[in-house]
Structure 1
Amino acid sequence: MDSPSGAAVFAEGFGVKGPRGWAFRSVDVDAAPGSLIGIQGPSGSGRTCLLLALTGRMRPAAGRAEVGGLALPREMAAVRRISALAHVPGVSDLDPALTVDEHLKERALLRSRYDGSLRELLRPRAERAGALRQRIDAALESAGLDRGGLPKEGRTSVRDLERLEALRLSIALALIGRPRLLAVDDSDLKLSDADRAAAWDLLRSVADAGTTVLAVCGRAQECTSVIRTDVTNVTDAIDTTDTTDVADVTDGEGTADALAEAGRA
């Protein structure tokens, strides 16, 4: 699978507001294609809203932003086409009753049906099936998920996966669409220290391969840029030994309301 060209991410004074207040505001970030961007802060601080807004799935109320040269909110639909979500509760949840292979086959068929060109759809069935297998295998390799190492290989149900394995599967499903921007929520939630390190190794490898990665986390590790959603004063909050770029976010009380609006953006 060819490596996608990552999308540059730029925002200035960016914010989302719900009926009861700001989910986040005053976000500034300027990240080059292929960057690993961490959105760091405690649960409820607007992290998921920011992730959804930067992928064109939540309408901003303030500031301006561009993803891959596409302006938000004017080109939200185009931004959605070049981005993909992984591990976002309530938005891209895995079905615990389905197996790993069922998830992969379903996602690949949907992508080929709705994203493929007419020329692609007219290819012989055997060729299309082979292309689907290659796309799945490439996504699994990029996500570091070895079906052979699972309890029942590809027939393993999602409910039987470890947390890190479920994260890898969710990322593999997102990568099947060959996005320019991969957005991952709760990337290190409830992971052991070893699994957290493995998760960050995975995200860095995806970014190194060319895809820009936007990752919500409790603690960012070796990111190109970091957006903090739990502070209003960057100079007080930043670790002076950390060389990553840190953006300022003023948090509000409207996170839940803004999330409720995401589907209506």
Structure 2
Amino acid sequence: MDSPAHGAAVSADDFGLKGPRGWAFRGVRVEAEPGALVAVEGPSGSGRTCLLLALTGRMRPTEGRAEVGGHHLPKELGAVRRFSALGPVTGVNELDPALTVAEHLRERALLQGRYDGSLRALLRPRTVRAAEAQARIDAALDAAGLDLATLPKGPRTSVRDLERLEALRLSVGLALMSRPRLLAVDDVGMKLSDVERALAWELLRSITREGTTVLAVCTEAPDDALRVTTADAGATEGTDSGVGTDATTTDTTDTEKGADDALAEAGRA
């Protein structure tokens, strides 16, 4: 099993998920080492987000096998959820536009301290706990490349006033506060310019360089990512990530209705 200090290896074979009205995705195969950048590629409605949620333990697959960080799916969904984290996922894990950046950060730090800490940690003086929470916030924002001083109103900036790339960085920073072994990000390039899209992918690469495995949904994968496509039937060869792994999918027969149904179920969970 992978060390908790490192990213999670991800493997799947003949992996599929069926919703009430059809398959969200089917026949997926992937082999990725810890610290890999895995791009889940395909058009909107092809089951990309459902695959992302299934591999992070948020949705229960219907067929095939998968192993994430040494834990088997679907038997160990809870274990995978504990060491994986979601960035922005539409309808499942979105920023609240009415809250400020500071409010999001304080809320996440409070949740991390309450649910991830030991009883002994909770009994430490409030000043010590506050300093540790701030240190965790600072480290996560640094890793996400978000400088609060550059925002229109600093940490008091409302989420609705953030640029798209800034919102992505905030979502990723919030996810990194749990120090995950596996980070999942949906729709990486959505509404970004070419320059912003390149910066978003560089952000995800920098996270993998620190050892965290990244799963990222996109319309078009960069050349250096392991490519998993949910778009077409047949096999598509993956690309070399620099860590000696590859990823392919076979016989994908996704339907947009099946993916929508499965996502709706995840949003209610």
Pairwise TM-score range, normalised by the shorter structure: over 0.9
Partner in structure 1 of residue 265 of structure 2: 261
SS in structure 2 opposite 1:58? coil
- Alignment partners' CA distance in 1, 2:202 and 2:183: 15
Answer yes or no: is 1:48 the counterpart of 2:52.
Answer: no
| TM-score for both structures, normalised by structure 2 | 0.92
CA contact 2:230–2:254 (8 Å) conserved in 1: no
Q: Aligned letter for 1:228?
A: T
CA RMSD of aligned residues (A): 1.6
Q: Residue 167 of structure 2 corresponds to which residue in structure 1?
A: 166
* Cα drift, residue 262 of structure 1: 2.4
- On the 8 A contact 1:57/1:263 being kept in 2, the answer is no
Where in structure 1 are there 5+ consecutive unaligned residues?
A: none
The superposition leaves residues 184-225 of structure 1 with CA deviations (integer Å, 9 ceiling, x where unpaired) of 001111100000000000000001111100000111114441
Whether the aligned pair in 2 keeps the contact of 1:24 and 1:46 (CA below 8 Å) is yes
Match runs of 1:9-24 below 5 Å: 9-24=10-25
Contact 2:40 2:230 in 1 (8 A): yes
Relative to structure 1, the CA distance from residue 11 to residue 171 in structure 2 (aligned partners, 3 Å threshold; closer, same or farther) is: same
Alpha-carbon distance, 1:4 to partner: 4.0
Separation in structure 2 between the aligned mates of residue 23 and residue 229 of structure 1, nearest angstrom: 9
Moved more, 157-166 or 217-226: 217-226
Whole-Å separation in 2 of the counterparts to 1:76 and 1:113:
22
Partner amino acid, structure 2, of 1:17: K
Whole-Å Cα distance in 2 between the matches of residues 158 and 10 of structure 1?
35
Q: Secondary structure at the match of 1:251?
A: coil
Amino acid at match of 2:65: R
- State the alpha-carbon separation in 1 of the partners of residues 131 and 253 from structure 2: 48
Kept in 1, the 8 Å contact 2:31–2:247? The answer is no
Q: What one-letter code is carried by the residue in structure 2 that aligns with 1:255?
A: A
1:212-264 per-position Cα deviation (integer Å, ceiling 9, x unaligned)? 000001111144411001122235xx69xx54534115032211111123257
| Aligned-pair CA distance for 1:28 | 0.5
CA contact (8 A) 1:24 1:251 kept: yes
Q: Is the 8 A contact 2:91 2:267 kept in 1?
A: no
Q: 1:263 to 1:94 in 2, by over 3 A?
A: closer
In the alignment, what sits opposite 1:234?
235
Q: Report the residue type matching 1:123 in the other structure.
A: R
Q: Secondary structure at the match of 2:25?
A: strand
| Equivalent pair of 1:228/1:246 in contact (CA under 8 Å) | no
1:141-220 equivalence runs, <5 A: 141-220=142-221
**Partners of 2:16 and 2:39 in 1: CA distance:** 17
